[in-house]
Amino acid sequence: MTQVLVFFDRVENQLTPAQAELLTHADALGDAVVVTGSLPPEGPAPLAVQGVTGVLTGAGPMYAPDPALADLVSAAAAELSPDLILGPDTPDTVDALSRAAVSLNAGLITGANGVTGSGSATKSVLAGSWRTTARISEEGPLLATLRPNTASQQVIPAEAPEVVELEVAASSAVEILEEAELPDSGRPDLTEASTVVAFGRGVDGDLSLVEQLADELGAALGASRVATDAGWIDHSAQVGQTGVTVAPQLYISVGISGAVHQKAGMQTSGTIVAINRDEDAPVFEIADFGVVGDLNDVLPQMIAELRRRAK
């Protein structure tokens, strides 16, 4: 049975979609123990899911980017000798697992699409144009961060796992002075969303239709660089080479030409639907479904049909 150590820098009172996906993946691979910097006040309840056999924490909470999180992962690895150490593909997790990999003399593969129990990982490279399978040649566990939307989320409730405290404490290198929750847009996080509606210059600054479409689909909003540079939406929504990389199950591209820099951030999406009035737009080269038309005609029909079906 493969022993999997799953690292979450923090666990709150509900698992994030990426955490639920990772635990589903770990359950399919073997037994999972979660190591985390902090648990919610109600304890390990959110981790009471099939496949999680235990929870390891430090002696008191610690929060990213505290380098002690890496010590915690190393201590957990020394305790369990896992075959795999997995985490979600977030900057804080990559930071902690990179440091842990150095101290464990092990290898880390970031941005993986999947891992196997025999210690190899698959990953898209060169802007999604190649798929590689790699393994670490060093002794020791394979550390990997997994991109969201690469596996299904099917967490099955189970008994709450036992929590064991390791003798690792927060370091004094980082002091959290204040934490403030950002206003909730009501939409899923762009990098984790299973559906993304992305828009470009074609919307000409009017987001009303793409927002309605996103809300009908429970989708996150993404954008091309032209749209973020124009200030139509925050830069954090930029998808592409110099923005975020997304791989949702469904990516709807609205009024985006599909330049190579935009494709780099979305071409590994499951199904790509493109709406563009130019039939020669490069986005149609990678689209699974294309609609040649004016978005101001097409989107109202899509929204009306979705609303009709939702009744």
Ligand X SMILES: Cc1cc2nc3c(=O)[nH]c(=O)nc-3n(C[C@H](O)[C@H](O)[C@H](O)COP(=O)(O)OP(=O)(O)OC[C@H]3O[C@@H](n4cnc5c(N)ncnc54)[C@H](O)[C@@H]3O)c2cc1C
Residues that bind ligand X (CB under 6 A): 200-202, 224-227, 238-243, 255-257, 259, 261-262, 265, 275-278, 281, 294-296
C-alpha triplet 30, 35, 36: angle, nearest 5°: 140
Strands 271-276 and 250-254: parallel
**Can you tell me the distance from the alpha carbon of 49 to that of 161, in angstroms, rounded to the nearest whole number?**
8
CA angle 90/92/94 to nearest 5° reads 70
Token pair for 188: 């899923």
Amino acid at 74: S
Give me the residue label for tokens 């762009």. 190
Binding site for FAD: what residues are annotated?
201, 224-225, 238-242, 276
> How far are the Cα atoms of 98, 120, 160 from residue 255, in angstroms, in the given order?
39, 39, 48
Q: What angle do CA 36, 37, 43 make, to 5 degrees?
A: 70
CB of 220 to ligand X, least distance (A): 15
DSSP label at 244?
B
For the bound state, the minimum distance from the C-beta of residue 278 to ligand X, rounded and expressed in Å, comes to 4
- Give min distance, CB of 34 to ligand X, in A: 34
**Residues 6 or more apart whose Cβ sits within 8 Å of residue 80:** 3, 5, 33
Q: Which is nearer to ligand X, 2 or 212 (CB)?
A: 212
Q: In what order do the strands lie in the sheet with 2-8?
A: 107-112, 142-146, 84-88, 2-8, 30-36, 52-57, 163-165
Q: Which residues are annotated as a binding site?
A: 201, 224-225, 238-242, 276
CB of 129: closest distance to ligand X in angstroms? Answer: 16
CB of 53 to ligand X, least distance (A): 41
Residue 162 CB, nearest approach to ligand X (Å): 45
Nearer to ligand X, 145 or 257 (CB): 257
Q: Which is nearer to ligand X, 53 or 296 (CB)?
A: 296
Looking at beta carbons only, is 184 or 279 nearer to ligand X? 279
